[in-house]
Amino acid sequence: MKFLSLLMSAMAIKRDEDERRHLQARHTAIVESGPVVIRFWMRNFKEDARRRWDIYLGRYVLSGILSGS
């Protein structure tokens, strides 16, 4: 668990409220469990139309790209 906390701290990115609202407007699925919110969404830009995920932990968010086709 300590390793996971360290990893999340290293990868965490603080986002401002405007960016968070922007991501919420483009989500396709939401999973909420207590303080943890997971969102799967897709960017609507031609140059970057990949599916993405975000895990919100308080004021921090972990982000990534879903692999596969």
Give the residue extent of every domain in the chain: 2-65
Alpha carbon distances (Å) from 32 to 2, 4, 36, 39, 54 = 23, 19, 6, 9, 12
For residue 13, pLDDT over 50 is answered with no
More confident residue, 68 or 2: 2
pTM (predicted TM-score) = 0.40
Per-residue pLDDT, averaged over 36-47, amounts to: 65
